[in-house]
Amino acid sequence: MSVQPRPGLLAVLREWGRIGCIGFGGPPTHIALLRELCVERKQWLSAQEFEDAVAACNLLPGPASTQLAIFCAWRVRGRSAALVGGVAFIVPGLVLILALAALFLAGSPPRWVRGAGAGAGAAVAAVAVQAGSRLASASWRRVQRASRSRWLLYLAAGGVATATVGPLLVLVLLGCGALELVTRRVRRAGTNAAGTAPIPLLAAGTIGGGALLPLAWVAFKVGALSYGGGFVIVPLMQADAVNHYHWMNGGQFLNAVALGQITPGPVVQTVAAVGYAAAGLGGGLLAAVFAFAPSFAFILLGGHRFDRLRSDRRARAFLDGAGPAAVGAILGSAIPLARALAEPWQYAVLAAAAALLLLLRRGVVLTLLSAGAVGALMAVGEGPLPH
């Protein structure tokens, strides 16, 4: 295959913006669209280069498909393209989710809007179970037999932490990663690992003072310390947004998660809806900046080391501990998400959504839109809605 000339920045803006507009369905869709663009259609990257990029991005914390979009743009035209392509990929969905947040999280939204939000929100716990079960299955198949007991321990730790001590989940994720790293280092005493792992064990401190600084810290945790796919942001945010800072109630948080699922682009944009609830449009934009800044930093500062990252034992060991804990956190998040439901009909919607997703294998977007339609009909029919 002959590699084509590098594209101009306008081409990067156009192509990555197109993917940001049509990228419904989460990371699998984003990866497929980027591969079709960069490998098959434009031939800017070889198939092996692309697969290596996917593997390296999966070793990093934060939204992997966003990092892949930034990395591919960096590979085809350098840092300026990484900035242009990354922003073009993020902005369409960000604009849409902020507009929807203004509608669904307003102080007194129309009754049908409240009903649609309550219906879609009722299905979110089933989405969490589907996302967690898929990740758990894939992760289990990669685990060596000798490590399966630790894998189960990490999975349980993440689930229990989400259901009980939500604000400390980040420490549990880091602790599981560190434990696996130490365990393997002890077993390989005297063996040198290759390269330097850019695992960002960023300080889990606190930022205080006003609403914006705590919001920035919550968003930063989402972007820099989340492992295991986009949905892990749900347990990372829920305890802070609902219980600690009281930026929103449980029903509004369900609405925010649903909005993040039905809009194109990265699921991490859910943090913008939380930011909107905390501090309006400025809060939504601030949260987005802090959530996505780590992804840009990882690529712009460490992209040239990705080849070494894939073969680094320490990076893989850390992810092999933090990853299962994150999967457990996603599964565990279904418990507080289901507890946030207030009306009996919402539990019926949750059961129907679980059947659609887990038994009939229907898509997340279709399921959430259907649940929202049921809620809107319930509102129009003067049925009870959560407060």
Q: Give residue 209's pLDDT.
A: 43
Q: Give residue 84's pLDDT.
A: 97
Q: Write the single-letter amino acid at 139.
A: S
Angle at 215 between CA 210 and CA 216, to 5 degrees: 105
Q: Give residue 71's pLDDT.
A: 94
pLDDT at 206 over 50: no
* Least confident range of 22-31, 116-125, 332-341, 357-366: 22-31
154 near 172, Cβ under 8 Å?
Answer: no
Q: Tell me the percentage of the chain whose pLDDT exceeds 70.
A: 90
3-state secondary structure of 26: coil
pLDDT at 347 over 50: yes
254 near 340, Cβ under 8 Å?
Answer: yes
pLDDT in tens, 136-153: 887 888 788 878 899 999
pLDDT at 377 over 50: yes
Q: Tell me the percentage of the chain whose pLDDT exceeds 90.
A: 36
pLDDT in tens, 8-29: 899 999 999 999 998 887 777 8
Report the predicted TM-score, pTM, of the whole model to 2 decimal places. 0.76
CA 316/CA 211 separation, integer angstroms = 37
Q: Give residue 261's pLDDT.
A: 85
3-state secondary structure of 166: helix
pLDDT at 382 over 80: yes
Q: Give residue 333's pLDDT.
A: 84
pLDDT at 91 over 90: yes
Q: Give residue 70's pLDDT.
A: 96
Q: Give residue 216's pLDDT.
A: 94
Mean predicted lDDT score pLDDT of the chain? 84
Kindly state the tokens that stand for 106. 């307003």
Q: Give the residue from 345, 346, 366, 344 showing the smallest Cα distance to 356.
A: 366
pLDDT at 340 over 80: yes
* Least confident range of 164-173, 176-185, 215-224, 231-240: 164-173
pLDDT at 198 over 70: no
**pLDDT confidence tier of residue 36, bands split at 50, 70 and 90:** very high
pLDDT at 199 over 60: no
Please compute the mean of the pLDDT values over residues 321-341 and round it to a whole number. Answer: 86
pLDDT at 380 over 80: yes
**pLDDT confidence tier of residue 72, bands split at 50, 70 and 90:** very high
Q: Give residue 68's pLDDT.
A: 92
CA 70/CA 85 separation, integer angstroms = 6
Q: What is the DSSP letter of 8?
A: P
Q: What is the DSSP letter of 225?
A: S
Q: Give residue 229's pLDDT.
A: 62
CA-CA-CA-CA torsion for 255, 294, 25, 372, nearest 10 degrees?
0
Please compute the mean of the pLDDT values over residues 19-47 and round it to a whole number. Answer: 88
Matching residue, tokens 């998040």: 333
Please compute the mean of the pLDDT values over residues 351-380 and round it to a whole number. Answer: 91
